[in-house]
Chains A and B, each alone.
Chain A
């Protein structure tokens, strides 16, 4: 059977599922897509007041709820409910993840398993769920995996985390091949944010990264959001790529 792309371009996503959409980059992606008129389904372990506020402002275009991404049955139920309310999902942003802040030798084996389950197994299963629905209904779609510069560069204290992000980068490439042009699959790999995960690195390491960054500052979620939007909405032939957003710190 041919593995070559079908000739029609993949249309912009109009209903997008965002995992981990209640705070930080995930919340910023949700808000941005809503601003552009996209319908959004967003879940997170806890629905924050910020996500609740967006839901109140966009009652017809945002479906939000509490789902632990590792709970596949809950994710399936959420997707079904979201599609009843918003229509068929044709975009996925795998953003939900947990961080790490411990040297590998001092990380409990249970914590390593939890990081892998949340950051690698769960997004692969969520992707499978969504791709099955899209393929089964003859839909085309777009997938954006939020990974990390950790997948490409080494940082102490982030061994298991980096392994999961590298795994998602690799899955991005293989899935883009596997889906034969019917879906566009890409990853966005931010550098360290000044907040959240980057608390792991400590002031000295963050200062070193800033000094090494030609653009002179750590990445902000607002600088990543337009790249995610482009991959979901713009007509491009970008597929199977990992786009690094780190001000050239890693170059």
Chain B
């Protein structure tokens, strides 16, 4: 059957991994907004410098759900440093590609993980900016807020 997305995207969209919330999360990151049509919320649990658990909730299109799902898989059990290095490009590759107009979803996934890690540092009393960098809503400037 012909389809718009790759099998990998469809698979993650239909059976998203690590969906939900972590009630006692060590860091929570939210990127996106309702107006532009997608919001990703990432919850992380950190233990000994490792991402011990990660969960997500996403409002958005099929690729937004799929990118957040695969991104959680890609950082699970990794060190914080490794998680920070997850690029949107790696997410796109892991999904066997995304349609051009959906690339921003992979940026949302990358940024929401960074936002969760930034929140983790903030809670530790550490200024996250030098480590995580500046977070940006990838909708701009394509969607006017």
A, B co-complexed: no
Q: Which residues of B contact A (CB under 8 A)?
A: none
Hey, which bits of chain A sit against chain B, CB under 8 A? Answer: none
